[in-house]
């Protein structure tokens, strides 16, 4: 993007700033907000005009529905037709990184649900976002605060780098604790829950609470998966630098590489040296890997490397599944 003509202002979470930003939201404006997963671009979910601005600013196709954020469980029945299994999950994991897809009520504008009869709802855990939700007194629609198709932002600076010329208000809540977008579960049919997007809340955790199997997400980009959760295109979260994924990385791979390539390990490799070797978490702890993945993808994308080599978690269960999902999407071309 060229030099932004107008820079968005970054606000700290003082009571005065929060009151001002709540006023912006109440009058139909947009505010970028911190959540525990990634930063979101928020608008009054009950105001179709305000939500249309989100699509324009992100250059997001109108076929890709938004997630609605609420502050308390009591707000859910106004937006969605609730069932017992949805309540079980909400009680177990809210506030937190879990989004429920349910049949929508008439108050949700069709621009939010992209014309569908369902709505995605989540109760975020970030304390500043929760205070803003309370002050605004509204449910807030918010997709990730990045231009459509790029890596999701996990800091206020990431938001400003991507959207700073197109929005005015960014609330700074520090670096996102989880670092990957929420787990999305389709509960329209309570008897057949289905995972639409893996995240920090794992399929095993959902199954434990529900006492029944939760269907896996379809392979990325397959027509049926795209119909279920239309934003989940195969190529997403994509940096501009080509990415190559590896089941394991070792010294021999690095030695055989070409100049200008970067090597990203899950854990710090023994004796690591040189400006082209990186790691996501000193000990390879997957929560640390998830937390730092998007920030490192962005940094390396702007560092002038020709290729980014990434080591993937070996298992494809739990948090590893969510990390692998994002790495595969980042590496997908075309
Ligand atoms: O962690 C998160 O979920 C973040 C923060 C800001 O809350 N939000 C986020 O939003 O990742 P976004 O727009 O980048 O991804 C939302 C995805 C859509 O692309 C779509 O796949 C799915 O949620 N979705 C939304 N409404 C849906 C619906 N009614 N049915 C199926 N999928 C839906
Ligand atoms: Mg997104």
Q: What is the mean pLDDT of residues 161-188?
A: 98
Q: Rounded distance, CA 269 to CA 265, Å?
A: 7
- With the most atoms of ligand 1 within 8 angstroms of its CB, the residue from 81, 94, 120 to mutate is 120
Give the DSSP letter of residue 243.
Answer: E
Nearest ligand to residue 51 Cα: 1
User: Which secondary structure element, helix H or strand E, spans residue 9, and what is its range?
Assistant: strand 9-11
Q: What is the mean pLDDT of residues 169-182?
A: 98
Beta strands in 116-260 (DSSP E): 118-122, 140-141, 169-171, 183-186, 194-197, 243-246
What are the pLDDT digits (tens) for 12-66? Answer: 999 999 999 999 999 999 999 999 999 999 999 999 999 999 999 999 999 999 9
Residue with tokens 């960014």: 170
CB 98 within 8 A of CB 70: no
CB 172 within 8 A of CB 12: yes
For residue 55, give both structure tokens: 């699509």
Pocket of ligand 1 (CB under 6 A): 35, 37-38, 40, 64-67, 97, 99, 101, 113, 116, 118-120, 122, 142-144, 181-182, 184, 196, 228-232
CB 254 within 8 A of CB 263: yes
What's the confidence (pLDDT) of residue 220? 52
CB 36 within 8 A of CB 124: yes
CA of 181 to the centre of ligand 2 (A): 8
What are the pLDDT digits (tens) for 250-260? Answer: 988 998 999 99
Longest dimension (CA), the chain: 60
Residue scoring higher pLDDT (235 or 252): 252
What are the pLDDT digits (tens) for 273-317? Answer: 778 999 999 999 999 999 999 999 999 999 999 999 999 999 888
Instruction: Inform me whether the pLDDT recorded for 239 exceeds 90.
Output: no
Q: Rounded distance, CA 224 to CA 217, Å?
A: 10
Kindly indicate the confidence band of residue 228, based on its pLDDT and cuts at 50, 70 and 90: low
Nearest ligand to residue 95 Cα: 1
Q: Which residue's CA is minimally distant from atom 3 of ligand 1? A: 182
Q: Rounded distance, CA 130 to CA 28, Å?
A: 19
Q: Kindly report the backbone phi and psi dihedral angles of residue 277, in degrees, each rounded to the nearest multiple of 5, phi listed first.
A: -110, 130
CA of 114 to the centre of ligand 1 (A): 11
Residues facing 80 on adjacent strands: 104
What's the confidence (pLDDT) of residue 227? 58
What are the pLDDT digits (tens) for 59-97? Answer: 999 999 999 999 999 999 999 999 999 999 999 999 999
What's the confidence (pLDDT) of residue 217? 80
Q: Rounded distance, CA 329 to CA 93, Å?
A: 26
For residue 309, give both structure tokens: 């080599």
Structural domains in the chain plus CATH codes: 9-210 (3.90.870.10), 243-331 (no CATH)
What's the confidence (pLDDT) of residue 4? 46
Kindly indicate the confidence band of residue 223, based on its pLDDT and cuts at 50, 70 and 90: very low
Instruction: Inform me whether the pLDDT recorded for 233 exceeds 90.
Output: no
**Whether this model's pTM surpasses 0.75:** yes
What are the pLDDT digits (tens) for 187-211? Answer: 999 999 999 999 999 999 999 999 9
- With the most atoms of ligand 1 within 8 angstroms of its CB, the residue from 149, 182, 231 to mutate is 231
Q: Which residue's CA is minimally distant from atom 10 of ligand 1? A: 143
What are the pLDDT digits (tens) for 106-133? Answer: 999 999 999 999 999 999 999 999 999 9
What's the confidence (pLDDT) of residue 209? 98
Mean pLDDT for the chain?
A: 93
């Amino acid at each position: 993007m060229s030099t932004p003509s107008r820079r968005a202002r970054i606000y700290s979470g003082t009571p005065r700033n929060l009151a001002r930003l709540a006023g912006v939201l109440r009058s139909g404006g947009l505010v970028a907000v911190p959540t525990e997963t990634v930063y979101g671009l928020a608008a009054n979910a009950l105001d179709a005009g305000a939500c249309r601005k989100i699509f324009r600013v992100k250059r997001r196709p109108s076929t890709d529905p938004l997630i609605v954020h609420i502050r308390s469980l009591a707000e859910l029945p106004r937006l969605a037709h609730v069932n017992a299994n949805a309540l079980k999950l909400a009680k177990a994991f809210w506030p937190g990184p879990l989004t429920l897809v349910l049949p929508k009520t008439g108050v949700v504008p069709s621009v939010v649900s992209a014309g569908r009869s369902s709505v995605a709802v989540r109760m975020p855990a970030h304390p500043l976002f929760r205070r803003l939700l309370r002050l605004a007194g509204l449910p807030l629609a918010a997709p990730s605060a990045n231009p459509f198709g790029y890596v999701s932002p996990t800091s206020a600076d990431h938001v400003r780098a991507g959207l700073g010329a197109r929005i005015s208000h960014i609330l700074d809540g520090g670096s996102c604790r989880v670092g990957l977008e929420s787990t999305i579960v389709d509960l329209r049919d309570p008897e057949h829950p289905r995972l639409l997007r893996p995240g920090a809340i794992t399929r095993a955790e959902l199954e434990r609470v529900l006492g029944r199997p939760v269907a896996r997400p379809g392979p990325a980009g397959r027509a049926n998966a795209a119909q279920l959760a239309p934003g989940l295109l195969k190529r997403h979260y994509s940096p501009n630098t080509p990415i190559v994924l590896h089941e394991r990385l070792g010294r021999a791979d690095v030695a055989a590489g070409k100049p200008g390539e970067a090597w990203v390990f899950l854990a710090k490799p023994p004796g690591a040296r040189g400006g082209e070797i990186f790691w996501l978490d000193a000990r390879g702890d997957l929560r640390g890997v998830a937390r730092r993945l998007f920030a490192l993808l962005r940094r390396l994308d702007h560092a002038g490397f020709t290729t980014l080599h990434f080591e993937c978690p070996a298992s494809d269960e739990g948090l590893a599944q969510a990390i692998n999902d994002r790495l595969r999407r980042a590496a997908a071309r075309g």
